[in-house]
């Protein structure tokens, strides 16, 4: 959703380019030699250079305060460390995504939740829901915990399947969805807010593969039957699969699936079952499967 929000701000002209420095809006960083190099796209493709997500065992840890403090945005602005040159390394972290709400507010003059409601959800005819705000009248979290009905996520998936056009109205710039689906040299499986099929590997995690814990990697028991699958892949294996070649969007929400002996979420099972059914309806339907090495 944060990537769609940035796309909408681009279409409205509030943000000039994905390659615009965020310090144009977050002026506190304008004279910072490192943070001034963070571009808008880096907030979406997880290459901001900010401290990676990790376990934080004390309340005072900056990872906790940048997430749970009632002024978490100020913690990120003034205390959160930059540890890599922006644009040079993929590192999943909450702070990078949390900056999107602040950027939208600075760029548009509108609070993040109101912007999502009026510029994205209402044009889609989608129901709203709940957003996490750090304090009464404070800053919304854009890195976690936006609660919407399943149909709203479905409509968002359909918007991306149509290159950002809904009911003949363009909400996102032409080609923006293709940009979302373009991986980086640092992580070819992650674009801007979405994951892509890429070449088949059995297990994938969310962190930089160099630091990824095997226990947190998601199982893909077989290649996707279509190589153009891209997806929102969220907490508790809540997933929106988008498959342009089959004109198909699949939404799975709910609690975490049970884990145990022989029980594990398989990220390729659901789309492949439905794609097999889709192909069986007509012998002329064919797909190009996800490639193996």
Residue 256 has pLDDT above 90, yes or no: no
pLDDT averaged over every residue in the chain? 95
Q: Do 137 and 105 touch, CB atoms closer than 8 A? A: no
Can you give the pLDDT at residue 252? Answer: 96
Let me know whether 144 and 248 are in one domain.
Answer: no
State mean pLDDT over 22-39.
Answer: 98
Note whether residue 121 is domain-resident. yes
At which of 104, 134, 156 does a domain end? Answer: 156
Q: What are the tens digits of pLDDT across the range 133-173?
A: 999 999 999 999 999 999 999 999 999 999 999 999 999 99
Residue 261 has pLDDT above 70, yes or no: no
Q: How many domains in the chain? A: 2
State mean pLDDT over 258-274.
Answer: 88
pTM attached to this predicted model: 0.95
Can you list the alpha helix ranges (DSSP code H) found in the chain?
A: 2-12, 40-44, 62-68, 72-78, 94-108, 112-116, 122-124, 150-161, 176-180, 269-280
Let me know whether 15 and 106 are in one domain.
Answer: yes
At which of 130, 156, 182 does a domain end? Answer: 156
Q: What percent of the chain has pLDDT over 90?
A: 89
Let me know whether 151 and 206 are in one domain.
Answer: no
Identify the domain containing residue 222 by its residue range.
194-280
> Rounded to 5 degrees, what are φ and ψ at 165?
-110, 135
Q: What are the tens digits of pLDDT across the range 34-87?
A: 999 999 999 999 999 999 999 999 999 999 999 999 999 999 999 999 999 999
**CATH of residue 46:** 3.40.710.10
Q: What are the tens digits of pLDDT across the range 111-134?
A: 999 999 999 999 999 999 999 999
Let me know whether 134 and 7 are in one domain.
Answer: yes
Note whether residue 115 is domain-resident. yes
State mean pLDDT over 13-26.
Answer: 98
Let me know whether 136 and 217 are in one domain.
Answer: no
Note whether residue 223 is domain-resident. yes
Note whether residue 80 is domain-resident. yes
| Exposed / middle / buried, residue 36 (Cβ in 10 Å: 0-12, 13-18, 19+) | middle
Q: Do 65 and 79 touch, CB atoms closer than 8 A? A: yes
Note whether residue 181 is domain-resident. no
Note whether residue 170 is domain-resident. no
Note whether residue 106 is domain-resident. yes
């Amino acid at each position: 959703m944060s990537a769609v929000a940035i796309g909408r701000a681009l279409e409205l002209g509030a943000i000039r380019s994905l390659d615009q420095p965020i310090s144009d809006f977050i002026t506190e960083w304008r004279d910072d030699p490192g943070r001034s190099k963070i571009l808008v796209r880096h907030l979406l493709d997880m290459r901001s250079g900010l401290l990676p997500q990790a376990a934080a065992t004390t309340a005072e840890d900056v990872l906790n305060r940048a997430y749970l403090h009632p002024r978490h945005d100020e913690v990120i602005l003034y205390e959160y460390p930059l540890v890599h040159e922006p644009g040079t390394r993929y590192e999943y972290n909450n702070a990078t995504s949390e900056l999107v709400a602040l950027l939208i507010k600075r760029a548009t003059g509108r609070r993040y939740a109101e912007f999502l409601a009026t510029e994205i959800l209402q044009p889609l005819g989608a129901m709203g829901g709940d957003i996490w705000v750090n304090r009464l009248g404070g800053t919304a979290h854009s890195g976690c915990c936006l609660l919407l009905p399943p149909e709203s996520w479905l409509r968002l998936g359909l918007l991306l399947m149509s290159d950002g056009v809904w009911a003949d109205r363009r909400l996102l710039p032409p080609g923006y969805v293709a940009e979302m689906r373009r991986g980086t040299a640092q992580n070819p499986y992650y674009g801007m807010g979405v994951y892509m099929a890429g070449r088949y590997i059995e297990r994938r995690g969310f962190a930089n593969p160099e630091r990824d814990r095997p226990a947190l990697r998601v199982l893909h028991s077989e290649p996707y039957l279509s190589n153009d699958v891209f997806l929102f892949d969220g907490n508790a294996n809540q997933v929106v699969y988008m498959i342009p070649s089959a004109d198909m969007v699949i939404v799975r929400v709910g609690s975490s699936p049970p884990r145990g002996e022989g029980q594990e979420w398989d990220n390729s099972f659901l789309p492949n079952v439905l794609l097999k059914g889709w192909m069986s309806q007509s012998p002329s339907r064919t797909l190009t499967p996800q490639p193996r090495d």
